A and B are shown apart, each in its own frame.
Chain A
């Protein structure tokens, strides 16, 4: 018997007026996976993520978390069911300290409200390496720390799945490597990861599975090496001649 998926997208379609961005995309993500999603600009990756988090409602299709249909739940409710996300352009609560940022997530985002949010928030900051700047205003952080803060807030909600939206973008190679190490750590702690990224190196280093999207549909799904070599993926990225 196959295990039941942590996150299931079932025939998700999204149209803005007559323009179809996503066409019946289905995906099962299983516990412990790091699923990388790549695809050229306009492939529908970010729209797909927004449907998973509940930022948009799909035109058709359903989203399930741990077997529960969450299609009609708002973002905040889905967060409490175990879907957390990071934003492509970090969105810190700039006027609050780093610690307060994470405390808000620990207090509001957990499905199980028992436990001490203060202690939890601190633990997360120690894990992500932000404890030393806990009392600094989040608005004063540099890019790498802002990305760490995004990750910290996501973790503080006690997620089953974390959706990463281009978390590697804009970082130097060394910074990106530090982030990758952290993401691996998080996965070892039992959190499943779905990761949209343009930097292919990060995905191939990290992912247990990769899917490629183009034109609003999944065109390849499998091991990272196989997906990168797939003819359909090469066509999508480099044109027909490749």
Chain B
């Protein structure tokens, strides 16, 4: 056989990995540097990253545009409340609620993934609204009055903030790694093929439904983790604050501004959203108007998002999921035309 070499990383990707690890370590050290307030903001950033990366996996790669990912976000938060009310440690409850999100994702995938386009998008919204209503019926929640993750009082404020942050970091690292490994696996090229052309993917033998289901369940689980974390960080649970449509708008904003279909795009979209929120969040309604204006501006000027502009200018992929093939021999790589 031929002497083929496959290269899957580059200097760009090694630098990116270094930067990501450094950012992770810096965030992990935050409780000692910046105290409780800093940790809370860091958790918010990580929740945005999780939401953006997972929504992008679903919409950008599997072509499943969902406006109801709040189903998993809200149900996981609710499950955390319920589990903690049953006497389980709140941090353990956060992890278990994520697993419940995975289970819910699997069950939902059985009938939702075969839908496409608008049917899928609206269907997910309906499911989310349905879950919201059911949660409102629970006497523990008392409708929109809501309740709190009271069990967190067992920890003092500093410990609680640090543990939440480290859990958030662990979740983000695990889900990012899972997605990157999935995209680099033998299923990964099939996922990317579906992103580019679903009909062509079918005609070269890709099992589109099965592949989409894998992405859907991963996205559901990651979104559930984000919901459980958001609750643990903010302690109070009002159904509207978790099932609300504003989360969908945030996910869309982060991914479209960052760049659909690239993990790097979702990442910088989340960071950008975090920065805008930190600087302008206090302006209330005008902040939302500004957010909308930024989205429109990007749609007009950079339709492929920030990463659509940055990515092609780098010498190699930042988060490498592709293959660079070359043959070791003198006279190769010749082609006519």
Listed in ascending order, the chain B residues whose CB lies under 8 Å from chain A are 1-2, 4, 6, 186, 189-190, 192-193, 195-197, 199-208, 261, 322-327, 332-337
A132 touches B333 (CB 8 A): yes
Measured CB to CB, the nearest residue on chain A to B207 is A76
Whole-angstrom distance between the alpha carbons of A132 and B337 in the complex?
Answer: 10
Q: Does A65 contact B (CB under 8 A)?
A: no
B205 touches A108 (CB 8 A): yes
Within the complex, the shortest CB–CB distance from B146 to chain A, in Å, comes to 43
Within the complex, the shortest CB–CB distance from A99 to chain B, in Å, comes to 5
B203 touches A135 (CB 8 A): no
Q: Does A13 contact B (CB under 8 A)?
A: no
A100 touches B204 (CB 8 A): no
Q: Does A87 contact B (CB under 8 A)?
A: yes
Find chain A residues with CB under 8 A from B190 CB: 104, 107-108
Listed in ascending order, the chain A residues whose CB lies under 8 Å from chain B are 53, 55, 74-76, 79-80, 84-85, 87, 91-97, 99-101, 103-105, 107-110, 116, 118-119, 122-123, 129-135, 144-145, 153-154, 156-157, 175, 178
Within the complex, the shortest CB–CB distance from B185 to chain A, in Å, comes to 11
Number of A-B residue pairs having CB atoms within 8 Å of each other in the complex: 119
Measured CB to CB, the nearest residue on chain B to A153 is B204
Measured CB to CB, the nearest residue on chain A to B189 is A104
B206 touches A119 (CB 8 A): no
B323 touches A87 (CB 8 A): no
Question: Binding site of A, secondary structure by majority: helix, strand, loop or mixed?
Answer: helix
User: With A122-B4, A131-B333 given, is the CB distance from A104 to B206 under 8 Å?
Assistant: yes
Find chain A residues with CB under 8 A from B332 CB: 131
Find chain A residues with CB under 8 A from B197 CB: 91-94
A97 touches B323 (CB 8 A): yes
B335 touches A129 (CB 8 A): yes
Find chain A residues with CB under 8 A from B202 CB: 74-76, 79
B322 touches A79 (CB 8 A): no
Whole-angstrom distance between the alpha carbons of A13 and B95 in the complex?
Answer: 55
**Contacts A91-B199, A94-B196, A100-B192 known; 12 new A-B pairs at CB < 8 A:** A79-B205, A93-B192, A93-B197, A95-B195, A96-B189, A99-B323, A99-B325, A104-B189, A107-B190, A118-B6, A129-B337, A131-B335
User: With A93-B200, A94-B196 given, is the CB distance from A122 to B325 under 8 Å?
Assistant: yes
